Structure 1
């Protein structure tokens, strides 16, 4: 006879130790754990998933869900990516992807525009079956369309100045409100950009958003305040107040900025970095120094995530 209760085991994966507590089977007489294929495998998979989370590795479930979403067989996905069908099968069975394959698959899974580029490139010589499946998926998928003729009303710096002045007013009313840092300012603008992109399918500002070491960076704002950590310990400049008054005339955009500021008023810059820099975020799926694509931002924010 036997019984089941929680048991803690330490698993070592890739020189990392994971302490996993999960149900295990015990012998009635000896009260020692005994082999149970299903329970033991479940605990092992918990350890493997903890390792995947630490290393930012794609999980079998993510890969299977992607194939199901697009309507691809394992052989289709192998053809699309240039991997072997056996490799795809191994990854879906739980094998860890190589760093290069993991990065490539994550790019693909998180960027339908990249999928479109793959399938429209005639030099890839994809099979008719694969092309038909991908085109059918893309036709019904809500791909963000950016109106390139649309010119945003304000620059990123003008919007940044609005947030600076709003922070000043907050500090005047509440001594516990901390002065705005450049890093937090950029995070707030990034969140505002994502929300606006989803709502309007247009850019909030034209400045590029790039992947740098500490997260998504709005180049125009970073250049304007280069070298500054804390932007204002006292009253902001006249230029900032002029921009604040100008932006405030647009009720929709000023309301958006105010909501973002209120949502994250108690967050530190490092706390916001934990959101923007987590695995699977647009930042994590973009190479260092490269522009973060609007499609990645749109997909993330349209799913109710701010990363």
Structure 2
């Protein structure tokens, strides 16, 4: 068997933790992947993986072999890229994951320009607010808002997200305009909360004024885990909430939403382009990264209006 193919199968099994998942990612039959790993272990005369009926884990020898194999395969990809794509247009399949509102309002409307520049790229665009595992899910790169909590990933900041507190005119006619953020925890008001798809934890509403920083849970009847649904709930008059300013802008302009507590701001959130450190940055990823950096850099709503706070674990609710 081809040793390089066996090595690629082994790397994908380690990263996905499953022969079945690795076979799907490689577009190969599961039996072929199994035979490739068996061939590799026979050749090396060591056990690389522990197999049970429920999961696959790497052995100590397998972990050491994985690290060296990963570097070797990256070097091979670099050689091929330099020889075959130096003067060629990027082509092939690219898997990118983007937060829901950023995808709907910013990325997808601009994709005609991306495809005009890169007609040979086939883009698989994952859309949603749920964080993905870049390695296990075989994702080339992601665009996400919020401070990074996974330090092993490589990230480049490409924009800044401003947040605004809003409610519908109908809600305010019934419940009145709050005079202070703490009014959101009084009986007379309702908030619409955002909860993490991964942990189920509800993120607080944040307010900053003259050095004072408040984090309030609010009183909610509805919580959602997707940013477009958050805006829809506000438009339906279900409560007060906080959404990205670029998302709220058209509704503020036509009066469908009203800004609440405008004298209080929300800490701005950085937007990052993120990819795995060991994933080869091929021509397709570079093409998307260059395009995304230019797109976000030319969007006025994503430019910082104040210094960003020091890095900390921030919610990634406003994608």
Q: Which has the higher strand share?
A: 2
Relative to the length of structure 1, the TM-score reads 0.24
Greater relative contact order: 1 or 2 (C-alpha under 8 angstroms, separation 6 or more)?
A: 2
Relative to the length of structure 2, the TM-score reads 0.23
Q: Which has the higher helix share?
A: 1
